Amino acid sequence: MTRLSVWTAALLLAATAAHAQSGAERPRARDVGVVVGILPPGPLDAITDVAGVRVGHATVVEGDSVRTGVTALLPHGGNVYREPVPAAIVVGNGYGKLLGVTQVRELGEIETPILLTCTLCVWTAADALVDLLLAAPGMEEVRSINPVVGETNDGFLNDIRRRPIRPEHVAEALAAASGGAVAEGAVGAGTGTVAFGWKGGIGTSSRAVPPALGGGTVGVLVQSNFGGVLTVNGAPVGRELGPFAFQSGLGESADGSIMIVVATDAALDARLLERLASRALAGLARTGASLTNGSGDYVIAFSTARSGEPLVPNSAMSPLFQAVAEATEEAVYNSLFRATTVAGHRGTVEALPLDRVLEVLDAYGVRGWDRSLPPGGDR
């Protein structure tokens, strides 16, 4: 492997400095020349590029052993119970605790905000969400509600048996939900997560399908907490950096979980959203994940399109499939690139060493180029 080039070092320094000035500590993947796929991102390269979608975090750090949080996603700014959105859920591997799945599958819609949190906090978060929704104006006669709450196990950095999430944390995440740029890395539900043996967290990305290919925006947000052998833009980063899963023993650093939330403004019903959600797993696989035995891998997809819009035909779905695969892949990278080193309950998890990662990417020639289609779709 060659030494870090002057160009590489300068680019990383500039990107890091720019983010430091904005209050962030580490760059996103695209900031340092990691361009994923061929479709252009939305203006924010985030799930909030889908109009109306809002994201909020509550980060919970207490003493030296609590490192967890809540991330809330709202499909729109209204009452989601009164204005549910078409939705689907795909299970890549069912080793997890995703609440609300059967009603979403039965009715093909989501009627609450989506919450992400830690494994043993799912029920507390769901109970708090239900309390808040039932107390809202216009909900006085509601006697059934289906909260959708997903999780990953952050039990290395977080003393998960304390079940530290409280109702006020759910309220904080919901109150903080907004459009615009989304905080990534060790924040919210990603505060205590680990991915590929490095610090994982929250990551997001988006793709704008050019009008010539049918149009529409697809946004993805991930809570990364899984294992495997990290691949970045096709380069074998995990193999080069080591250690990696299975290197010393079967299952080592391989199990974990990921929650993937997909939003789109394309007019898709539950059946089409299920097709879209399944393609997010293609993007996950490109990062080096193998959906191991103890990994809970779930995709929740919803559409914000107005009721009555003509549905996208099956024959026009392929560009959206490409979009969701690319956005999922980049969202995972952003969750790693933006995450910082965290010390917690059972030890310390180091942030992905970006200088070494960029050396690998340059050695394999997968950085610093962009052949994305223009937004209008014309070459």
Give yes or no: 206 in active site. no
Torsion angle (degrees, nearest 10) of CA 123, 125, 131, 132: -160
**Three-class SS state of 63:** coil
In a domain, 282, yes or no: yes
pLDDT of 252:
55
Structural domain for 53, as ranges: 6-363
CA-angle at 328, arms to 327 and 331, nearest 5°: 85
Give me the catalytic one of 206, 224, 253, 295: 295
pLDDT tens-digit map of 82-128? 999 999 999 999 999 999 999 999 999 999 999 999 999 999 999 99
What DSSP string describes 209-274? --GGGT--EEEEEEEEE--S---BTTB-HHHHH---TTSSSTTTTT--EEEEEEEE-S---HHHHH
pLDDT of 253:
60
In a domain, 377, yes or no: no
CA distance 218 to 214: 12
CA distance 122 to 116: 8
The pLDDT of residue 20 is above 70: no
Say if CB 263 and CB 50 are below 8 A apart.
Answer: yes
Q: Torsions phi, psi of 132, nearest 5?
A: -65, -40
In a domain, 358, yes or no: yes
If you average pLDDT over residues 312-337, what whole number do you get?
Answer: 98
CA distances from 39 to 35, 88, 137, 283, 320 (A): 10, 24, 42, 14, 10
pLDDT of 222:
99
Say if CB 34 and CB 40 are below 8 A apart.
Answer: no
CA distance 307 to 309: 6
Residue type, 185: G
pLDDT tens-digit map of 231-240? 999 999 999 9
If you average pLDDT over residues 208-216, what whole number do you get?
Answer: 97
pLDDT tens-digit map of 44-59? 999 999 999 999 999 9
The pLDDT of residue 348 is above 50: yes
In a domain, 371, yes or no: no
If you average pLDDT over residues 128-152, what whole number do you get?
Answer: 97
In a domain, 379, yes or no: no
In a domain, 249, yes or no: yes
In a domain, 168, yes or no: yes
Give me the catalytic one of 224, 257, 303, 335: 257
pLDDT of 249:
63
Cis peptide, bond prior to residue 319, ω within 30 of zero: no
Terminal Cα distance for the chain, rounded: 36
Grade residue 18 by pLDDT with cuts at 50, 70 and 90. very low
Give yes or no: 295 in active site. yes
Q: Can you tell me which residue has the tokens 């979608």?
A: 53
> Strand 114-118 relative to strand 148-152: parallel, antiparallel, unpaired?
parallel
Say if CB 352 and CB 361 are below 8 A apart.
Answer: no
Residues 6 or more apart in contact with residue 224 via CB below 8 angstroms: 152, 190, 193, 195, 200, 201, 202, 203, 258, 332, 335, 336
The Cα diameter of the chain in Å comes to 67
pLDDT of 45:
98
pTM given for the model:
0.93
Torsion angle (degrees, nearest 10) of CA 79, 321, 338, 231: 150
pLDDT of 7:
32
If you average pLDDT over residues 4-31, what whole number do you get?
Answer: 53
In a domain, 374, yes or no: no
The pLDDT of residue 22 is above 50: no
Give yes or no: 315 in active site. no
CA distance 366 to 45: 20
* CATH code (residue 202): 3.60.70.12
Q: Torsions phi, psi of 72, nearest 5?
A: -115, 135
Structure tokens at 295: 């990994």
CA distance 331 to 220: 7
Grade residue 4 by pLDDT with cuts at 50, 70 and 90. very low
Which one-letter DSSP state was computed for residue 49? G
Grade residue 365 by pLDDT with cuts at 50, 70 and 90. very high
Give me the catalytic one of 265, 297, 303, 362: 297
CA distance 216 to 207: 9
Grade residue 19 by pLDDT with cuts at 50, 70 and 90. very low
Average pLDDT, the chain: 92
The total domain count for the chain is: 1
Q: Give the range among 83-87, 161-165, 241-245, 281-285 with minimum mean pLDDT.
A: 241-245
